[in-house]
Amino acid sequence: MTTDAVRIRPMATGDRPGMRLSTQAAFDDLAARVGRPDTGTPSASGAAIIGGLLDRDAEGAWVAEAGGRICGAALAGVRDGLWYLAHLHVAPGHQGQGVGRRLLAAALGHGPAPRGRLLHASLDPQALYRYQRSGFSLDPAFEAFGTVARAALPAATGVRPGDAGDLDLAADVDRAQRGAAHGIDLEAILGAGARLLVHDGGYAVLDPGPVLLAATSVEAATALLWAALAETDGVTTVPILRAGQDWAIDVVHRAGLRLRPTGPLCRAGTSAPMTTYLPHTGVL
């Protein structure tokens, strides 16, 4: 199959079943190539994130099509002046032909010039090369995984269940640590069944394990991560832990989780400190 035979076009709602099949094929292929089986329980909010991007960010949603079948996709959103890549894949048989480059270029064209850009890369060497060549810096990262040692859990302090009344607090903390609020993306995740934990200095989202955390201090972030881990059952993951986040790495080690390399967090343009911020793999 040549690159010319692959058409890049805007994604439509009817493309979602084909995209799911293509995505699964790409993920299975990547797992086999990097020796990384899937762990943990799938989140409940993935479909809501995709649906929200199609509704609100149609200009950032693209698919690659060959022979009438979806063979790749890219979806990007812009919130509060921050661009993020929610998804990009190319199916086996179409990789190494420039399809990913064309999809990324289409997604990068979404929205006005942003203050910054974020994405979470896989461990695919071709993807890492493409993101670096597109102007992103690559922050090496780890994923924590395993079953929480219940005996290690400290008493929860200052953390409570959150609700819609806490979204303004979440937006303020996001702007301080991430540089932009999640806004409607956070609402969509919670509306799909994820749970919110709140501290006076931040918040965490469980879906079903800790998938997002933002805080204004190490103390608040540490309390929130412990509280989130206490809510887990069975194998769980903390998806992205970066250099300089010793507070989080200390918590997951004390909780009995193990670390392994994951794809880097990739950043371009102006970015906030993100020191006490653990990004969501989809909405960053």
Q: How confident is the model at residue 263 (pLDDT cuts 50, 70, 90)?
A: very high
pLDDT of residue 39: 46
* CA distance linking residue 86 with residue 60, whole number of Å: 10
Residue 271 has pLDDT above 60, yes or no: yes
Q: How confident is the model over 91-149, as pLDDT tens digits?
A: 999 999 999 999 999 999 999 999 999 999 999 999 999 999 999 999 999 999 999 99
Give the pLDDT confidence score for residue 1 in this predicted structure.
40
Query: Alpha-carbon distance 122 to 175, whole Å?
Result: 26
Phi, psi of 152 (to 5 degrees): -85, -10
Q: pLDDT band at 36, cuts 50/70/90?
A: low
- 277: pLDDT strictly greater than 80: yes
Is 212:205 a contact under the CB 8 Å cutoff? yes
Identify the CA nearest to 276 among candidates 217, 223, 199, 224.
217
Residues 251-265 have a mean pLDDT of 97
Q: Which tokens hold the place of 154?
A: 């400290």
Reported as a single tens digit per residue, the pLDDT across 177-199 is 999 999 999 999 999 999 999 99
In terms of C-beta density within 10 A (0-12 exposed, 13-18 middle, 19 or more buried), how is residue 233 classed? exposed
Instruction: Summarize pLDDT for 79-104 with one digit per residue, the tens.
Output: 999 999 999 999 999 999 999 999 99
At 146, is the secondary structure helix, strand, or coil? strand
Q: Is 46 left (phi over 0), alpha (psi -120 to 50) or beta?
A: alpha
At residue 176, φ and ψ (nearest 5 deg) are: -70, -40
Lowest-confidence range among 8-12, 182-186, 271-275? Answer: 271-275
Percent of the chain with pLDDT over 70: 95
Tell whether the model's pLDDT for residue 43 goes beyond 70.
Answer: no
pLDDT given for residue 157 in this prediction: 87
Q: Which residue has the tokens 């084909």?
A: 18
Q: Which of 25-34, 100-109, 185-194, 249-258 has the lowest mean pLDDT?
A: 25-34
d(CA 171, CA 169): 5
The Cα angle at residue 78 between residues 182 and 110, in degrees rounded to 5: 165
pLDDT band of 270, cuts 50, 70, 90: confident
Per-residue pLDDT at 171 exceeds 60: yes
What average pLDDT does the structure give for the chain? 93
Predicted local confidence at residue 46, as pLDDT: 87
CB contact at 8 A, 101 and 108: no
Q: Worst-scoring range by mean pLDDT, 37-46, 183-192, 250-259, 275-284?
A: 37-46
